[in-house]
Amino acid sequence: MDEGGTASAAGAASSREALRLTDVQLPWRFSEKDERLALLDIFLEDFTFHLAMIRRQWGIGELACLGLAFAGMVLGAWDLGIGELAGGGDYNRVGLSGFQNLSDLSLMLALLSIIAWAGVFVTMWTRYPIMRENLVYLWLAMMAVQLGAISSHSESPDFPAGSTGRDWAMVGISNLVLFFLSIVVVHRAVIETRDIHVEERHSHPDPRVVQKAWRDHSLRAWSLSLGMWMILVNLMSWSGSHVISQRPPIVDYSNLMVGMFVITGFLAAAFLMHVLWYPQFMLGGAEDRIQSVRAREVAGEAPEPTVKAEQGKCPICSGSTPAVRHESGRIEVPCSAECSGLGKPGTPCPECNAVLPIRIECPSCSSNTTIVSHFSRPEAW
């Protein structure tokens, strides 16, 4: 994470040393068994880092939000002995008319469930300010999937058993809305904001430092979390619609299906919180706005193009090297000693007075060549 984002997100744990993704050391690795499994090590490092940060950063606010989500699921799904849902209710009454004809206890539970979910939304809205716009998009996507599940069960109570093409079309349309809002809008906005953040705030003449910054800002685990949320929303919507789709009187009311609805709904709320929390933790301290590049252009907030310094290229393998040539033609190299000094090759280091190197070793192929050759270009002939 960037230093500003880490300091902002640390909160009560600010006294602890900041942990970065590149600091994570696994006790064992899949690649030791088979090099082809190295990708699993990368994901395991990401998950380990996320869990460590959740243990540090999540507090009373997150626990209260999850508690409200669980209460909202239970209060809205179980009769608690009243029998309104298990009996099927009066399906001829809908909307306000249906609410007005509920028993007093059923009406109270329904209102408490609505209040609990309002509390979940307000808590997420206030705790993750840079993700507010994306919270609305994800909430709308979740509602679209629930409406699609209800519609698919309206003509086929045992959906997917005995379903028709129209039933599947409603599920497909609702999931297209989910995919568009979650992946095309939210995922793209977070990814592109991360890219701009790293390019602007973590630029460095040493490509190894830049590569470390990209690794520290990895969004692999976050992307998987968003995908898991999408799956859980579908499971929650299907199970919730399935349990109440039977025509009254319901003779096979399934408490197991109700339990599935509550569990998947609670897990979906937890994953949604993670999806909102991580960009806030990673970028919130830098006050970045989560928007796609296109949205920034439309709003007139696109970053002005800047002339970038030319990175040195190894004449042997064409890999990037720490040498940099600025627009003015001045070449800078990092000091070979243990310091952060930069300067012209062959001159004293401004930090430690050691002579800056005129030859440099390529990080990729280890060839040692003159720095001037890293910026030479082939002849046009």
Asked if 172 and 195 sit in the same domain, the reply is yes
Asked if 176 and 276 sit in the same domain, the reply is yes
Residue 305 counted as domain residue: no
pLDDT reported for residue 187: 93
Strand locations in the chain, DSSP E?
Answer: 310-313, 320-325, 331-334, 342-343, 359-361, 368-370
Distance in angstroms (rounded) separating the CA atoms of residues 348 and 342: 10
Distance in angstroms (rounded) separating the CA atoms of residues 79 and 271: 27
Residue 145 counted as domain residue: yes
Instruction: Give the number of domains in the chain.
Output: 2
Distance in angstroms (rounded) separating the CA atoms of residues 368 and 263: 60
Asked if 46 and 145 sit in the same domain, the reply is yes
Most confident listed range (9-23, 204-218, 246-260, 301-315): 204-218
Asked if 189 and 63 sit in the same domain, the reply is yes
Task: Please say which residue of 236, 267, 295 terminates a domain.
Answer: 295
Instruction: Please say whether the beta carbons of 309 and 209 come within 8 A.
Output: no
Least confident stretch, 20-24, 70-74, 184-188, 264-268:
20-24
Asked if 284 and 150 sit in the same domain, the reply is yes
Q: Which domain holds residue 341?
A: 310-374
Distance in angstroms (rounded) separating the CA atoms of residues 112 and 33: 53
Confidence of residue 169 (pLDDT cuts 50, 70, 90): very high
Phi, psi of 107 (to 5 degrees): -65, -40
Residue 167 counted as domain residue: yes
Residue 304 counted as domain residue: no
Asked if 196 and 318 sit in the same domain, the reply is no
Could you please report the per-residue DSSP string of 90-113? -TT--HHHHHHTS-HHHHHHHHHH
pLDDT reported for residue 90: 59
Residue 13 counted as domain residue: yes
Asked if 324 and 224 sit in the same domain, the reply is no
| Secondary structure class of 370 (helix, strand, coil) | strand
Top-confidence residue, 127 or 351: 127
Q: In this predicted model, what pLDDT tens digit does every residue of 210-250 receive, in sequence order?
A: 788 888 888 999 999 999 999 999 999 998 888 877 766 66
Q: Is the predicted pLDDT of residue 103 greater than 70, yes or no?
A: no
pLDDT reported for residue 274: 95
Q: Is the predicted pLDDT of residue 7 greater than 50, yes or no?
A: no
Confidence of residue 164 (pLDDT cuts 50, 70, 90): confident
Confidence of residue 13 (pLDDT cuts 50, 70, 90): very low
- The mean pLDDT of 266-273, rounded to a whole number, is 96
Q: Is the predicted pLDDT of residue 14 greater than 60, yes or no?
A: no
3-state helix, strand, coil in the chain (%, to 5): 60, 5, 35
| Secondary structure class of 217 (helix, strand, coil) | coil
pLDDT reported for residue 15: 35
Task: Please say which residue of 267, 295, 323 terminates a domain.
Answer: 295
Least confident stretch, 131-145, 148-162, 308-322:
308-322
Q: In this predicted model, what pLDDT tens digit does every residue of 313-346 receive, in sequence order?
A: 888 887 888 888 776 677 888 887 667 677 788 8
Least confident stretch, 8-17, 147-156, 184-193, 209-218:
8-17
Asked if 203 and 146 sit in the same domain, the reply is yes
Distance in angstroms (rounded) separating the CA atoms of residues 359 and 153: 72
Confidence of residue 143 (pLDDT cuts 50, 70, 90): very high
Residue 346 counted as domain residue: yes
Query: Who's near 266: CB < 8 A, 6+ residues apart?
Result: 66, 69, 70, 73
Asked if 246 and 346 sit in the same domain, the reply is no
Least confident stretch, 60-64, 117-121, 192-196, 361-365:
361-365
Least confident stretch, 82-86, 132-136, 209-213, 242-246:
82-86
Q: Is the dihedral of CA 216, 183, 136, 196 positive or negative?
A: positive
Q: Is the predicted pLDDT of residue 372 greater than 90, yes or no?
A: no
Asked if 184 and 61 sit in the same domain, the reply is yes
Asked if 189 and 261 sit in the same domain, the reply is yes
Distance in angstroms (rounded) separating the CA atoms of residues 258 and 244: 9
Task: Please say which residue of 235, 269, 295 terminates a domain.
Answer: 295
Distance in angstroms (rounded) separating the CA atoms of residues 237 and 148: 8
- Residue 77 structure tokens: 């799904």
Residue 20 counted as domain residue: yes
Q: What b/e readout covers 5-30, taking b as 16+ CB neighbours within 10 angstroms?
A: bbebbbeeeeeeeebbbeeeeeeeeb
- Residue 154 structure tokens: 């309206």
Q: Is the predicted pLDDT of residue 54 greater than 80, yes or no?
A: yes
- Residue 277 structure tokens: 């929390």
Q: How many CB atoms lie within 10 A of CB 299?
A: 10
- The mean pLDDT of 243-263, rounded to a whole number, is 76
Top-confidence residue, 378 or 69: 69
The average confidence (pLDDT) of the chain is: 80
Distance in angstroms (rounded) separating the CA atoms of residues 60 and 68: 12
Most confident listed range (128-142, 194-208, 330-344, 352-366): 128-142
Asked if 359 and 220 sit in the same domain, the reply is no
Residue 303 counted as domain residue: no
- The mean pLDDT of 276-304, rounded to a whole number, is 70
